[in-house]
């Protein structure tokens, strides 16, 4: 058996030539998450009384746009471990739909007014799609590309 010192050599990710060429999917997904969370904080802080929804709508729209740009960038990656991506995405989507479903249940159960409920639902949908995409990309980017 070889010893550890026999193999002392740098093998950083920089030698993985795929990494620098990948679009900033993880960063954009984190930005989407931050926008959705900020919108959720605004909504929760003004829950139960009449306050303008404009900031929350703006944050949700911005989060949705960043998500769309991110999906487009992801789709354009020429060579990617899509099998791993969709496997992780599918299971993570199931898990986050359960979490988002529980939160949606709370809002419906509490008779949240329609405008707020709609906005909460949109934000939860963005959350439930964005996080699995981030997780799937974070795994698939390091996987060998078939073929």
Partner 1 sequence: MADTAVTETAVAESAVMETVVAETTGADRAVGVGAGAPDPGASPPEAQGGPPPPLEFSIVPVRGLPIVAVLLIGLIVAIGTNNLWALTFFHVGGGGLWTSIDLFLGLIIGPILGRLSIPARVEFTVRFMPKMLLIMPTLVAMTLGAGFQLARHLGNLDANYPHHGWLVASYIIVGVMAVIALGLLEPANLAVLFELKKPRPNGERIGRLMKIFVYTAGITGIMQIATILIMTFLASR
Binding site for partner 1 (CB under 8 A): 1-2, 4-13, 15-19, 26, 29-30, 33-34, 37-38, 40-41, 44-49, 84, 88, 91, 95, 98-99, 102-103, 105-106, 109-110, 131, 134-135, 138-139, 142-147
CB contact at 8 A, 120 and 106: no
CB 72 to partner 1: min, Å: 20
CB 82 to partner 1: min, Å: 13
Nearer to partner 1, 118 or 143 (CB): 143
| CA–CA dist 79, 105 (Å, integer) | 40
| CA–CA dist 136, 140 (Å, integer) | 6
Q: Which two tokens stand for residue 110?
A: 């509490």
């Amino acid at each position: 058996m070889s010893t550890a010192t026999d193999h002392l050599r740098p093998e950083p990710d920089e030698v993985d030539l795929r990494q620098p060429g990948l679009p900033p999917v993880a960063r954009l997904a984190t930005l989407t998450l931050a926008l959705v969370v900020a919108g959720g904080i605004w909504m929760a802080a003004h829950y139960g009384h009449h306050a303008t929804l404009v900031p929350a709508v703006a944050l949700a729209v911005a989060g949705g746009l960043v998500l769309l740009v991110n999906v487009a960038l992801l789709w354009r990656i020429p060579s990617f471990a899509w099998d791993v991506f969709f496997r992780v995405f599918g299971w993570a989507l199931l898990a986050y739909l359960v979490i988002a479903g529980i939160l949606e249940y709370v809002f419906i159960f509490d008779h949240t007014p329609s405008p707020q409920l709609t906005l909460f639902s949109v934000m939860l949908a963005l959350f439930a799609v964005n996080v699995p995409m981030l997780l799937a990309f974070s795994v698939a980017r390091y996987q060998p590309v078939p073929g």
